[in-house]
Structure 1
Amino acid sequence: MTTAPAVIGELARSLDARDVLAPLRERFLLPEGVVYLDGNSLGPLPAAVPPVLTEVVHRQWGTDLIRSWNTHGWWEAPTRIGDAVGRLIGAAPGQTVAGDSTSVQLFTALNAAASLRPGRPLLVTDPGHFPTDRYLADAVARGRGLEVRGVRPAELEAFLAGEGDRVAVVSYSPVDYRTGELYDMESLTRAAHRAGALVLWDLCHAAGAFPLAVDELAVDLAVGCGYKFLSGGPGAPAFLYVARRHHASLETPLTGWTGHADPFGLGAHYTPAEGVARARIGTPPILSLLALEAALTAFDGVDLHRVRAKSLSLTGFLIRCAEELLPLGFEVVTPVEPARRASHVSLRHPHAYGLVRALADQGVVADMRAPDLLRFGVNALYTTHRDVLTAVLRLRDLVSTAAYDPTPHRPGAVT
């Protein structure tokens, strides 16, 4: 079925007019004339961040200097901001710490989980996991004498039925970073626990995008980045969640000085701090941590269930636009069923990279995943249905007029 753009345009206006989250768009400094559908790679700049950074650079660092570790709460920033993230992922205070990169947090979490299940030789991960997750699983397995098994989420229960008593940790993401498919965290966590294994969730594509309940689901450990849906800025610090029941036995592989029970005592031997603070490693990156803290204020007073409802409306509308407005040659690979759909929609096309490059020239910023997926991320805090329609119409025009290079040179840098 083909729908006239005017008809679907009227639907977009109607949906946006009823959007109770529409005022939240003012919390972001979005460039004029740009449709931004890549916030699942790098969130846009929240309006609260520039004044905070100005204050931190000019007064806290520039004037108060080293005294700011105490007078402005720099020392407590990793746990304070960790708790702010914790509120978005369903974690009670005292279980989340922010700082270091996603890779470092994953390395810490995988090692810690394995140490909590000694004698179990298998580390299970998704063979379709983001590369860093797979690379680090291999690295941790090499260092600890474990074996990595690639098991897709849909196959986990069957795998555990045969080898569950040998599995130390299951490491998954609730969202397929390529297709946007949403997996069932609750059932997968329960399956792992029935086998006596721990579960580590990578929440990079989930935190801030929809409600999470890590405490309620009895999640063991979780990590996530600060620069996607949390909009903390390029390279923003990542976070690590460790359920309170594991704190007393938690062993971290990187025993840095800020995770010491008495960091300023300068003792010869490491004694871990109480609670999740022992997962602190090096001196915290204060500028980026405080930028993330300011960015998180974009969620103040926001009901994540409403965020989820609007996100489903946006992705559902995008799928409809793609199916009804785009010419032949495109395939929607994101699940149509709402319960299986996260916060981005992926379309398959053999010229994905060339089309994404051409869309950027037309003021629509999306991204692609090799070899042939165009990926459109939505964020209910600022994306509109009109944004979605504009992106699809410009994509249609590019293909209809062949106004793009189907095989552009691919530089080494990420687009």
Structure 2
Amino acid sequence: MTRQNAQALDARDPLASLRTQFALPEGVIYLDGNSLGVLPAAAPARVAQAVQQEWGEGLIRSWNTANWVNLPQRVGDKIGRLIGAPPGQTLAGDSTSVNLYKVLAAALLLAKQQGDPARRVIVSERSNFPTDLYIAEGLARQHGFELKLVEPEQIAAQFGPSLAVLMLTHVNYRTGRMHDMAAITRAAHGCGALALWDLAHSAGAVPVDLNGADADFAVGCGYKYLNGGPGAPAFLWVHPRHLERMEREDLWQPLSGWFGHAAPFEFSPHYRPASGIARFACGTPPVLGLTALETGVDTALAAEPLGGMAALRRKSLALTSLFITLVEARCAGHGLTVITPRTEGERGSQVNLARGEGAYAIVQALIARGVIGDFRAPDVLRFGFTPLYTSFTEVWDAVEHLRQVLESGEWKEARFNQKAAVT
């Protein structure tokens, strides 16, 4: 594979036109969209319109005239098109942590309603993203459940009479490994448990079919592959059977705020949950954040006429396969180990490399050269490949920079201060 070969792949790429949707900085190879997506070119003008016209001129009237009040459902329905959810099942707003709190608490409530005192275990991966584990740990303490953390190869052994909720991230942030959502959900249901999925590293990057997999609950992030901007609102999804049961049995989600009320502008002193997914709303929607998120989601939906998520997945696999091949061929002998699965069906849209010495310094040396990936303690170099805007030539160039950093030893000469990074 030469650079000219990579350029030829770009010339034949049916998704190449999607790159023009983004404000990509000159001289930067951005391989960190799995942490923060690139700015959509349409976002500044759209957010400015929301600020200057809708807020500045429309003022409070814009809740109706600009339809602010329905932003959570409208944006949620657009996200639903990327995750296998028909309209009315997905809600945008709040953070991933808050949404996880709401749906996991609802799942525990449903598990309790089964009346089996032995079914009191929440299972998750030990390497799951920490906020998921922290939320689960807190809810387990509050509701008398046990949080059990296992390695990926131990998940199959957990399906039994004590399992209440299996809580997994579809694509693991540390390894890039992707679970078989349908098979695992089927196994959870087979033992009477519920399956809750975190789509933070999936939505907008890999095909997801929540209804097809018969999942129970899901949450996801708006600022990674959905390109919603830093701190963008997240989303949640609930299977219709649980929405119907909660309504039938008058079961509440735990954050019973006014926007989840059946008639929020009735201003009743007593709570009455809304029907459907709206009962999982809480406080006032973050209008500007949802406005920016909508422009980001639109960049992913722009792929629909070109083959949609299936086409994005094909390009994602081609990009990650090329990166793995080039790293192993051009950076051999420098202590790098590919920890992301080679099997395509088990790989998300990122490639993680482990190196016992200097991983953080190597990432920083690459960033100094304009190749932006990220580091995860203690020894992981992580590179995300967003098929909407990443090119094959950028993959070739990124590996060439990595080779030069390793062979020159420049990473040893610099001294960098390790700083925390938002995932």
TM range (shorter): over 0.9
Distance of 1:412 and 1:234 partners within structure 2: 15
Moved more, 391-400 or 11-20: 11-20
2:267 equivalent to 1:260? no
Please give the residue correspondences for 1:8-407 in structure 2 after superposition, counting only pairs within 5 Å.
8-118=2-112, 119=116, 120-160=119-159, 164-250=160-246, 251-302=252-303, 303-328=308-333, 329-349=335-355, 350-405=357-412
Deviations 1:126-169 (A, max 9, x none): 11100011111100101111111113343223221xxx222221
Q: 1:9 offset after TM fit, Å? A: 1.6
Moved more, 57-66 or 258-267: 258-267
Structure 2 CA distance for partners of 1:277 and 1:64, relative to 1, 3 Å: same
Distance of 1:338 and 1:412 partners within structure 2: 31
Counterpart residue identity of residue 65, structure 1: L
Counterpart residue identity of residue 259, structure 1: G
Distance of 2:90 and 2:274 partners within structure 1: 14
Moved more, 136-145 or 294-303: 294-303
Question: What residue number does 1:409 align with?
Answer: 417
Does the CA contact (< 8 Å) of 1:227 and 1:235 recur in 2? yes
Deviations 1:13-68 (A, max 9, x none): 22212110011000111001100000000000011211111110000000010000
Question: What residue number does 2:249 align with?
Answer: none
Distance of 1:370 and 1:124 partners within structure 2: 23
Deviations 1:219-253 (A, max 9, x none): 11000010000000000000000011111333311
Q: 1:407 offset after TM fit, Å? A: 5.7
In structure 1, stretches of 5+ residues that fail to align are 1-6
In structure 2, stretches of 5+ residues that fail to align are 247-251
Q: 1:301 offset after TM fit, Å? A: 4.0
Does the CA contact (< 8 Å) of 1:42 and 1:231 recur in 2? yes
Does the CA contact (< 8 Å) of 1:116 and 1:249 recur in 2? no
Q: Percent identity?
A: 49
Q: 1:413 offset after TM fit, Å? A: 5.0
Structure 2 CA distance for partners of 1:370 and 1:407, relative to 1, 3 Å: farther
Q: 1:409 offset after TM fit, Å? A: 2.0
Does the CA contact (< 8 Å) of 1:153 and 1:188 recur in 2? no
Q: TM-score, normalised by structure 1?
A: 0.95
Q: TM-score, normalised by structure 2?
A: 0.94
Counterpart residue identity of residue 380, structure 2: L
Structure 2 CA distance for partners of 1:152 and 1:187, relative to 1, 3 Å: farther
